[in-house]
Amino acid sequence: MNKELSDASYEKFCHFLHAKSGILLGNAKQYLVRSRMLPIMHRFAISDLDSLILQVISQRDQIVTQTALEAMTTNETLWFRDTYPFEILRNTLLPALAKKQKKLRIWSAASSTGQEAYSIAITIAEFIKTNRNAFNAGIEILGTDLSSDVIKVASSAKYDTLSLNRGLSADFKKRYFTLNSDQSMTVLPEIIKQVSFRQFNLTSNFSPLGKFDIVFCRNVLIYFDAERKTKILQDISACLQPEGSMLLGASESLASASAKFKMITQPSGLYYRKV
C-alpha cells in the first residue's frame, strides 16, 4: 500500500474538487486531502493514494467520486449558531412576513446535519406562541447540502448528547424533543413536518427549488473563490421573493454581489435584503 500523495495528484484533485463543488483548497493542503482520502482508500480496497485520486477524477464509479467529494466538506454546525440570526428572524423578519398572510418558505442552503433548519423551525414555533394566527397558510423549511451523509442525519432528526449540548437550552430540549432510550433525542413531529432535506450542490441551477422569503446561507461561502461566491449570491437573489432576506455567516460578506442586496444593520447583527 502506498499512502503518499504526489504533487501531481494533489493538483489534479484540487482542480477537480473546485470544478465539481466550488470548494477551493488553496496551497499546501496535501495533509488535509491525505487524511480525508486514506479511509476511502481502505474502504474501497484501493492500493495507493494516487490511484484513488485518478479513479475519483475519472468518475468511473460515482460512489467513489461522491464519497471523496463529501469527505472534503467541513460539516461543523450547532444549534442557534451565533444567536443573532435567530433574533433577527424572531424580532424583525417573522413579524413583517406574518402580516402578508402567505405561505412562509425558508431555505437553509448548506444545512449540514440539520441544526440550522430545526433552529429556524423552533424560532417560528416560538413566534407563533405569541402570534396565534401567524402563518396559517403554511410553513416550509428546506435544508440542502452537498453531502448525502449529513442529509441522512438531518432527515433522521435524531441527535446524540454531544450535539444536543452545543447551543440548545434545557428548556428547548424539554419542549421540542423526545428522549430516546439511548439518551439521544428526536425533534418533535410537529417541527419535523415543516422541515424537509435534500441533497443539492450550490454550484447547480437553483430554479427547481422555487422562491423563498428568507435564505440562510451561512458558513459555506468561505470555501468558494470570489467568482463562484458572486455567482451563488446572484442566484440566491434570483430565488428570493421581492424584498426577501438573506443571512450569511458572521465572517462572510457580499463581495462583488453588493448591487443585489442592501445591508440592514440591527442591534444584534446584520442581514441582507434583496433590492
Ligand X SMILES: C[S@@+](CC[C@H](N)C(=O)[O-])C[C@H]1O[C@@H](n2cnc3c(N)ncnc32)[C@H](O)[C@@H]1O
Q: Is 60 within 8 Å of 99 (Cβ atoms)?
A: no
Count Cβ neighbours within 10 Å for each residue of 157-174 and write b for 16 or more, e otherwise. bbbeeebbeebbeeebbe
Q: Of the candidates 10, 16, 159, 223, which one interacts with ligand X according to CB under 6 A?
A: 223
Alpha helices (H) along the chain = 7-21, 30-43, 49-58, 62-71, 84-88, 94-99, 115-130, 148-156, 161-164, 170-176, 189-192, 226-238
Number of residues that bind ligand X (CB under 6 A): 24
71 binds ligand X per the rule CB under 6 A? no
- Of 52 and 221, the one with the shorter C-beta distance to ligand X is 221
Q: Is 86 within 8 Å of 168 (Cβ atoms)?
A: no
What is the chain's alpha carbon radius of gyration, rounded to the nearest angstrom?
20
- Of 249 and 269, the one with the shorter C-beta distance to ligand X is 249
Site for ligand X in 74-133 (CB under 6 A): 74-77, 81, 110, 112, 116
Q: Of the candidates 5, 134, 157, 220, which one interacts with ligand X according to CB under 6 A?
A: 220
Binding mask 169-208 for ligand X (x = CB under 6 A): --------------------------------xxx-----
Please state the closest distance from residue 67 (CB atom) to ligand X, in A: 13
Residue for cell digits 422569503? 213
237 binds ligand X per the rule CB under 6 A? no
- Of 93 and 202, the one with the shorter C-beta distance to ligand X is 202
Strands of the sheet containing 158-159, edge to edge, are 158-159, 185-187, 177-179
23 binds ligand X per the rule CB under 6 A? yes
Q: Is 114 within 8 Å of 168 (Cβ atoms)?
A: no
Site for ligand X in 248-267 (CB under 6 A): 249
2 binds ligand X per the rule CB under 6 A? no
- Interface ranges with ligand X (CB under 6 A): 21-23, 73-77, 81, 110, 112, 116, 145-147, 150, 201-203, 218-220, 223, 249
